[in-house]
Amino acid sequence: MSTQQHPLFGKRFQAFFLRAWLLAVLCFGGGLYAHSQGYEVLAWVLVWGFVISAVGTLIYLRYCLFNVSCPACGSATQTTKDDSQRRWVARCKKCDITWDLNIGTQVHY
């Protein structure tokens, strides 16, 4: 079984994560600011926006992580942590390729 870098997964995953958490932080900060200015209803709306954004982001990213398609053949893969438990890989049984998803704590040089 050969190991290859997945061409787009890591970049898209991390970009979505950063944008979604920036939105969540802005909602939370806006809620704190609105509360300090006396806008209680707006503050609660923004805090609930933070909660929905944070939970929705986690659910969506978990779905993306465990539903990776193989770039070579398009079939479904099985996502697991590799043997060192430091990075995520997706194994395609049809192509016999292990795709390194470029997310985790292992440094790539």
Per-residue confidence in pLDDT tens, the chain, 109 aa:
678 888 888 889 999 999 999 999 999 999 999 999 999 999 999 999 999 999 999 999 999 999 998 888 888 889 888 777 778 888 988 888 888 888 877 655 5
Q: How far is Cα 75 from Cα 56, in angstroms, rounded to an integer?
A: 26
Neighbours of 23 (CB within 10 A): 15
Q: Which two tokens stand for residue 77?
A: 């893969």
How large is the angle between the packed helices 9-36 and 40-65, nearest 10 degrees?
Answer: 170
Three-state SS at 95: coil
The answer to the question of residue 109 being in a domain is no
Count the domains in the chain. 1
Residue 106's pLDDT is: 62
DSSP state of 38: T
User: What's the farthest any 2 CA atoms get from each other in the chain?
Assistant: 61
Residue 109's pLDDT is: 52
Print the domain residue range for 21: 2-104
Neighbours of 88 (CB within 10 A): 22
H or E segment and range at residue 63: helix 40-65
The answer to the question of residue 34 being in a domain is yes
The answer to the question of residue 55 being in a domain is yes
